[in-house]
Structure 1
Amino acid sequence: MDPNIVAIILIGSMLVLLSLGIWVSLTLTIVGYIGIAAFTGAPAGPIMATTVWAQSWSWALTALPLFIWMGEILYRTRLAANMFNGLAPWMNALPGRLLHVNVVSCGLFAAVSGSSAATTATIGRITIPELEKRNYDQKMIVGSLAGSATLGFLIPPSIILIVYGVAAEVSISRLFIAGILPGLMLMVLFMGYIMAWSLLYPERTPKPEPRIPFMERIRATAGLFPMLGLIIGVIGSIYAGFATPTEAAAIGVVGALILSAVSGNLTWTSFNESVMGATKTTCMVTLILAGAAFLSVSMGFTGIPRTLATWVGSFELTQFQLLIALTFLFAIMGCFLDGISIVVLTASVIMPMVQAAGIDLIWFGIYLVVVIEMSQITPPVGINLFILQSMTRHDLLAVAKMAFPFFLVLVLATLLLIVFPQIATFLPSLMTRN
Structure 2
Amino acid sequence: MDILTTTAILGAVLLVLLAGGLWIGFTLAAVGFVAIAFFTPAPAGSMLATTLWDNSWGWALTALPLFVWMGEILFRAKLSEDMFAGLAPWLDRLPGRLLHVNIVGCGVMAAVAGSSAVTAATVGRMSLPELKQRGYDEGMSIGTLAGSGTLGLLIPPSIMMIVYGIAAQQSISRLFIAGIVPGLLVMGLFMGYVMLWSAFNGLSVPPAGPRLPLGQKLRQSRRLIPVLLLIVAVIGSIYGGIATPTEAATLGVFGALILAWLSGALTWASFTESLMAATRTSCMITMIILGAAFLSVGMAFLGIPAALAKWVAAQNLSPAALLILLTLIYIVLGCFLEGASMIVLTTSVALPMVVQAGFDPIWFGIYLIVVVEMAQITPPVGFNLFVLHGMSGRDMWTVTRASAPFFGLLVLAVALLAVFPGLVTYLPTLMLSR
Distance 1:84 1:303 in 2: 53
Percentage of identical aligned residues: 59
Distance 1:421 1:351 in 2: 16
Distance 1:89 1:279 in 2: 37
Residue equivalent to 2:66: 66
Q: Does 1:283 align with 2:283?
A: yes
Residue equivalent to 1:299: 299
Q: Does 1:348 align with 2:348?
A: yes
Q: What code does the residue aligned with 1:226 have?
A: P
Q: Does 1:233 align with 2:233?
A: yes
Residue equivalent to 2:326: 326
SS at structure 2 position matched to 1:378: coil
SS at structure 1 position matched to 2:336: coil
The 5 A counterparts of 1:32-431 are 32-431=32-431
Distance 2:57 2:122 in 1: 32
Number of residue-to-residue matches in the alignment: 434
SS at structure 2 position matched to 1:410: helix
| 1:66-116 Cα distance to aligned partner (Å, 9 max, x none) | 000001001001222112112111111111000001000100110111111
Distance 2:410 2:217 in 1: 32
| 1:163-211 Cα distance to aligned partner (Å, 9 max, x none) | 0000000000000000000000111110000000000110111111122
Asked whether the equivalents of residues 238 and 244 of structure 1 are also in contact (C-alpha less than 8 Å), the reply is yes
Distance 1:148 1:41 in 2: 49
Asked whether the equivalents of residues 178 and 427 of structure 2 are also in contact (C-alpha less than 8 Å), the reply is yes
Distance 2:135 2:117 in 1: 26
Q: What code does the residue aligned with 1:124 have?
A: G
Residue equivalent to 1:31: 31
Post-superposition offset of 1:126 = 1.0
| 1:195-254 Cα distance to aligned partner (Å, 9 max, x none) | 000001101111111222332112223232111111111100000000000000000000
Post-superposition offset of 1:125 = 0.4
Q: What code does the residue aligned with 1:102 have?
A: N
Distance 1:216 1:272 in 2: 36
Q: What code does the residue aligned with 2:283 have?
A: C
Asked whether the equivalents of residues 146 and 377 of structure 1 are also in contact (C-alpha less than 8 Å), the reply is yes
Q: What code does the residue aligned with 1:13 have?
A: V
SS at structure 1 position matched to 2:55: helix
Distance 1:117 1:86 in 2: 22
Asked whether the equivalents of residues 76 and 270 of structure 1 are also in contact (C-alpha less than 8 Å), the reply is yes
Asked whether the equivalents of residues 182 and 424 of structure 2 are also in contact (C-alpha less than 8 Å), the reply is yes
Q: What code does the residue aligned with 1:37 have?
A: A
Q: What code does the residue aligned with 1:117 have?
A: A
Distance 1:214 1:180 in 2: 28
Distance 2:313 2:27 in 1: 29
Q: What code does the residue aligned with 2:319 have?
A: Q
SS at structure 2 position matched to 1:223: coil
Post-superposition offset of 1:284 = 0.5
| 1:291-313 Cα distance to aligned partner (Å, 9 max, x none) | 00000000010111111110011
Distance 2:86 2:318 in 1: 48
Post-superposition offset of 1:145 = 0.3
Q: TM-score, normalised by structure 2?
A: 0.99
Distance 1:356 1:115 in 2: 31
Q: What code does the residue aligned with 2:369 have?
A: V
Distance 2:148 2:175 in 1: 20
Asked whether the equivalents of residues 83 and 123 of structure 2 are also in contact (C-alpha less than 8 Å), the reply is no
| 1:357-394 Cα distance to aligned partner (Å, 9 max, x none) | 12100000000000110110111000001011110120
Q: What code does the residue aligned with 2:313 have?
A: G
- Unpaired runs of 5+ residues, structure 2, are none
Distance 2:197 2:219 in 1: 31
SS at structure 2 position matched to 1:307: helix
Structure 1: 4+ residue segments shifted above 3 A:
none
Distance 1:40 1:420 in 2: 44
Q: What code does the residue aligned with 1:259 have?
A: L
Query: Alignment RMSD, CA only?
Result: 0.8
| 1:8-27 Cα distance to aligned partner (Å, 9 max, x none) | 11011101111111111111
Distance 1:267 1:143 in 2: 35
- Unpaired runs of 5+ residues, structure 1, are none
Post-superposition offset of 1:53 = 0.6
| 1:31-83 Cα distance to aligned partner (Å, 9 max, x none) | 00000011000000000000001111111100000000001001001222112
Distance 1:231 1:187 in 2: 17
Distance 1:356 1:31 in 2: 27
Distance 2:10 2:404 in 1: 34
Distance 1:117 1:261 in 2: 25
Asked whether the equivalents of residues 79 and 122 of structure 2 are also in contact (C-alpha less than 8 Å), the reply is no
Distance 1:33 1:219 in 2: 59
